[in-house]
Structure 1
């Protein structure tokens, strides 16, 4: 299989999607972009009521269909308080850690459509002034967004149109190195969205009709736990979540590999699905690792909790520093793409 053009396509799609702010609950612009990308490939995507995207990629057996899912929503923040000095207190969207957001540039989206820039800082952030700077616990109640506007009071900030409940999106800082590394916030899970577009392009380019009916579902509330609690088409017997493969102490996965998850915090994945994924990887000489994730939940888990009677699995390119400034590699993208393509053949 000649994969270079598809890897290049998937990485570029990922970069493009990363450039569109989409914290969970604020995904409409990203969804519109993805709808157009699927349409360019010749598909007819449908927007769900929740704001996700469902795509029928064709296939023969409609009674044994597979639903492949990735999510476009990311971590972020929401304005929970406008302080007397005009700065903003945030509440997190998803599992965003204030430790990972300190000194990061961000954008505040108002209900009126205005966008302001700011920086997420520790309260009293000057080292030369704050005696407790090094020892202070980084937590949301002790941190603030310093707005890049001339404000010195809550009234000044409110005059800008900023309100409680406004969305705050953090700068992804996306870079692709000559050595093949992909660095950015929110590779979880926009990297997988790019990979699913790659699979869709591969099927379209080569006019492949798979033995099983294949659907894509790009979800929008994964980071808060209910992304895939709906929108499972009739005839689907299996859900494959494509999310990040975790890297860390006690795990085998590398950024250059595709990770096959055997168990996460919700319990084991379907034994037959995991076994079949492993067999396909071995048969096609795909570089993979099997891992158990201690602090993880996927869209496939959410679908089972919602009561769907389906088998489930989870794979993803290896991603380091999850929920922080993340890193993966083009080889991880390639191996994940190859596993998906060969698995659904």
Structure 2
């Protein structure tokens, strides 16, 4: 394969990712993000439909309808939900997905009420002033020891209820999106909005280069991955293979960096299809994609949910390297571009 010049597609990926990151979409509150994703694929000229669950299925065309390939990424993120309105007017939360209070502390939040608009606040340790709380350093950060302090004049449960805030309201954490001059992309929820951006980049590449993939190619942008059932269902007829395009892990004991594409050989759910791992490695080599192969110790993916729901498919997992997963995450435009290279080599 000739050397790929993908700069404009990588620029597009970074722009689309940044726009999507700024749309709140914790698990269970994804309608706006899904509608945005659907519209962006349609703008590129592809048919996109909403599933009953709220995800987006995209037909990226292709020749062999009996040997289809499904690419899965997710636009739902971590977040919170109001569990209790406390007597002092503060909110106790329950987590959505793997949101961890240790790295959510001091973050700005938006409380999305069911019928009365959106209110701002901050997620803080209970009694958060160091000059007052002598136990500040030793207090374990948990959902019991932290709370949302609303940016409203409220001092009681009744004050909060008058605003229309109630148990079950969604709490969105500020993503704090930043792209540096050196190409690093920093934000909460790069897992997995960066991969959605990459699939949009792949769609743009296919359309502008008038490519018909060798086999039927679909994308499923799921909306319940963070709670384990995003990929359960909605597999287009004729698909024989599914690949999760999710975050690649970066950390001690692993070889991947934020500038590479990671190919996962095994995670906590078990090994991925060996022939698929081999084929993904070959596609990376053929396109000159800088890649690493790793084992993820604490990880599960959409494609495993797809298999557990009874689908007879070969499966794989790839993704741009992301550091500090489920916290304030960091990747690099090179990682996005290397993932796009691999996908072009594998799908086109």
What per-residue deviation string (whole Å, max 9, x for no partner) do you get for residues 280-327 of structure 1? 111222100000000000001111111110000000000000000000
The match for 2:311 is 308
What per-residue deviation string (whole Å, max 9, x for no partner) do you get for residues 7-41 of structure 1? 00000000000000000010000011111111111
In structure 2, what is the Cα distance between the partners aligned to 1:197 and 1:262? 25
In structure 1, what is the Cα distance between the partners aligned to 2:47 and 2:216? 15
Query: 2:259 is paired with a residue of what secondary structure?
Result: coil
Gaps in structure 2 of 5+ consecutive residues? none
Query: 1:334 is paired with a residue of what secondary structure?
Result: helix
Match of 1:237 among 240, 250, 274: 240
In structure 2, what is the Cα distance between the partners aligned to 1:311 and 1:278? 16
In structure 2, what is the Cα distance between the partners aligned to 1:119 and 1:69? 33
Mapped pair 1:88 → 2:87 = no
The match for 1:24 is 27
The match for 1:259 is 262
Query: 2:26 is paired with a residue of what secondary structure?
Result: coil
Change (3 A) 1:113 1:232: farther
What per-residue deviation string (whole Å, max 9, x for no partner) do you get for residues 83-137 of structure 1? 0011100000001100010000000000015011000000000000001000000
Query: 2:321 is paired with a residue of what secondary structure?
Result: strand
Q: CA deviation at 1:55?
A: 0.6
What per-residue deviation string (whole Å, max 9, x for no partner) do you get for residues 20-76 of structure 1? 000001000001111111111111200000000001110000000000010000000
- Contact 2:23–2:32 (Cα < 8 Å) also in 1: yes
Residues 287-298 of structure 1: pairs in structure 2 closer than 5 A:
287-298=290-301
In structure 2, what is the Cα distance between the partners aligned to 1:47 and 1:200? 17
In structure 1, what is the Cα distance between the partners aligned to 2:38 and 2:316? 25
The match for 1:172 is 175
In structure 2, what is the Cα distance between the partners aligned to 1:217 and 1:125? 42
The match for 2:190 is 187
What per-residue deviation string (whole Å, max 9, x for no partner) do you get for residues 176-222 of structure 1? 00000000000000000000000011111111101100000000000
The match for 1:53 is 56
- Contact 2:17–2:197 (Cα < 8 Å) also in 1: yes
Farther off after superposition, 277-286 or 330-339: 277-286
Mapped pair 1:5 → 2:5 = no
Mapped pair 1:106 → 2:98 = no
Mapped pair 1:299 → 2:322 = no
Mapped pair 1:151 → 2:139 = no
Match of 1:328 among 308, 324, 331: 331
The match for 2:219 is 216
Gaps in structure 1 of 5+ consecutive residues? none
The match for 2:132 is 129
Query: 2:52 is paired with a residue of what secondary structure?
Result: coil
In structure 1, what is the Cα distance between the partners aligned to 2:269 and 2:152? 45
In structure 1, what is the Cα distance between the partners aligned to 2:89 and 2:286? 60
The match for 2:78 is 75
In structure 2, what is the Cα distance between the partners aligned to 1:274 and 1:47? 30
TM-score by length of 1: 0.99
Residues 31-46 of structure 1: pairs in structure 2 closer than 5 A:
31-46=34-49
Q: How many residues align?
A: 345
Farther off after superposition, 38-47 or 323-332: 38-47
The match for 1:160 is 163
Query: 2:38 is paired with a residue of what secondary structure?
Result: helix
